[in-house]
Amino acid sequence: MTEHASDYTFADSVRLRVRGPRRVLRHFDGEYGEVRTAAVAEPDVDVRIGFGSRVDRIPGGAVLAGGHKTARWRVALGPPEAGPLHAVIGLTGGPPSFTLSLVQGYFVEALVAVALARVGRTALPAAAFGDGGGGATVVLGRSGAGKTTLTARALAAGRTVLSDDQVVVDASGRIWRYPRRLRLYPDIEQTAPEAWSRLPAGTRATLRNRALVRRLTRGQVAPSLAVPASDVGTTVVSGPVPLRRLVVVGRCEDDGFSEEVRPAAWVVGEAETLLGQQRERLTRAVGGAWADALDAVLRAESRTVTAALAGVPATEISVPRAWGARRAVDALDAHLGVTPAR
C-alpha cells in the first residue's frame, strides 16, 4: 500500500508528521488541515499509522496494545529522549473513522503534548474565547463541562473563538488555538439552537441519525461527530492572544450555581489532574523510561501553567449536577457573557 505523509504545525512551534495510506491522511487533514505545512527535514513528532499493518518494537522504546469496543490497536513507541518522537500504530476493527479518532486522542495528541512541553508550552483541556479587548478568557473543565456547546454558541453569535476543547499556553500567558474540529452530539439542537441552524443539512441529518442509534442501543453507541468550526461561524483566530481570565468549571451536589475565587496553586492542581486524565491510556500502558518521561512532562506543564497564571484572575464555577445540559449551559453562558443577552 502506498504511503503518504502530511506535516502540521501546532502553536507555531511543534511539527507533527503523519504517514499512512490516503484514508489516514484524509482523517488528519480533516482535523489539522488548517495548520498543514510543507514537509521539513525533521519534525518534532513522527507517526506512522496503518490498518492491519505489522508493528515491531522500536529499539529503546515500548510496545503497547489495547482497544475500545470494536477498535483495536498496537503501538510501538520510540525512546522518549529521541528527536523526533516516533510511533508506529497498527489498527484493526472499526469503523475506521472511530478507530482513528481514538488513537488520535490517546497517542498522537499525547505525543504532541510531550513535544509542546519540551518547548515550554502546554496543551490545556480548555475552551478559549476573545474577551472583546484583545485578550482571552479560558474555560478549563472535564469532558461534559459544556466547553464545546459554549464554543458553538459563541461562533454562531460572531464572537471571537480560539478552541473548544484544548488550547496551547506558554509561560508568558499567550494562548494559541488547538487546530481540531468541534465534537458535536445530537443535543446541540437543544443546547445551542443558533449553532444548529447554521450547520449544513447533511450534518444535521447525521446528528439526528446518531440520536436514533443512541436511543436504540440505550446509550451503548453514542459517538460524537467531528464538525469543522467553519460550519458554525467564521470568527476563529489562531493566536497568540494574551490570557486575561481563567475559569474552572465543575459539577457539584449543591442546589445552586456558584463562583469562588481560587489561588493559582489550586488551578494548577486542577490542570494537573485533567492533563493526567488526558494521557491516562498512554500512562497506564508504559513503564520505565517512558513513565519517567511523562512524569517530567507533567512537571514541566505545571511550571508553565503556574507562570502563565501570574496576575491572571482565576475562579471556580460550580454547576449543580442535577441540572440538565440546557439549563447548565444557559447559566454558564449568562454568567460568562459568551453570547449577547437574549
pLDDT, tens digit, for every residue of 183-224? 999 999 999 999 999 999 999 999 999 989 888 888 777 788
Per the structure, how many domains does the chain have?
Answer: 2
Q: Are residues 100 and 141 in the same domain?
A: no
Q: Are residues 32 and 135 in the same domain?
A: no
Q: Are residues 328 and 243 in the same domain?
A: yes
The DSSP 8-state label assigned to residue 236 in this structure reads B
Give the torsion sign (CA, 101, 105, 111, 112).
Answer: positive
The answer to whether position 341 is within a domain reads no
Q: Are residues 25 and 53 in the same domain?
A: yes
Q: Are residues 85 and 176 in the same domain?
A: no
Q: Are residues 135 and 163 in the same domain?
A: yes
The answer to whether position 110 is within a domain reads yes
The answer to whether position 11 is within a domain reads yes
Q: Which residue, 101, 119, 137, sits at the end of a domain? A: 119
Contact 225, 187 (CB under 8 A): no
Q: Are residues 37 and 80 in the same domain?
A: yes
Q: What is the reported pTM?
A: 0.93
CA distances from 34 to 71, 124, 173 (A): 27, 20, 23
Q: Are residues 9 and 158 in the same domain?
A: no
Q: In this structure, what CATH number is given to the domain that contains residue 133?
A: 3.40.50
pLDDT at 341 over 70: no
Nearest one of 125, 166, 78 to 267, comparing CA atoms: 125
Query: Span 302-328, mean pLDDT?
Result: 96
Task: For residues 178 and 239, give the distance between their C-alpha atoms in angstroms, rounded to a whole number.
Answer: 10
Q: Which residue, 119, 138, 162, sits at the end of a domain? A: 119
What is the pLDDT at residue 342?
52
Nearest one of 221, 226, 218, 149 to 190, comparing CA atoms: 149
Query: Span 141-155, mean pLDDT?
Result: 93
Q: What is the mean pLDDT of the chain?
A: 93
Q: Are residues 56 and 40 in the same domain?
A: yes
**Residue 1 pLDDT grade (very low, low, confident, very high; cuts 50, 70, 90):** low
Q: Are residues 165 and 258 in the same domain?
A: yes
Q: Which residues make beta-bridge pairs with 51?
A: 91
Q: Which three cell numbers stand for residue 63?
A: 510496545
| Residue 313, preceding peptide bond in cis (omega within 30° of 0) | no
Question: What range defines the domain where residue 285 resides?
Answer: 123-181+231-336
Task: For residues 202 and 233, give the distance between their C-alpha atoms in angstroms, rounded to a whole number.
Answer: 17
CB neighbour class for 226 (10 Å; exposed up to 12, middle 13-18, buried from 19): middle
Chain centre distance of CA 232: 18
The answer to whether position 210 is within a domain reads no
pLDDT, tens digit, for every residue of 26-82? 999 999 999 999 987 799 999 999 998 789 899 988 999 999 888 999 999 999 998
Q: Are residues 42 and 93 in the same domain?
A: yes
Q: Which three cell numbers stand for residue 214?
A: 443512541
Q: Are residues 150 and 251 in the same domain?
A: yes
The answer to whether position 269 is within a domain reads yes
Q: Which residue, 119, 134, 156, sits at the end of a domain? A: 119
The answer to whether position 216 is within a domain reads no
CA distances from 117 to 2, 13, 168, 270, 303 (A): 33, 11, 10, 17, 10
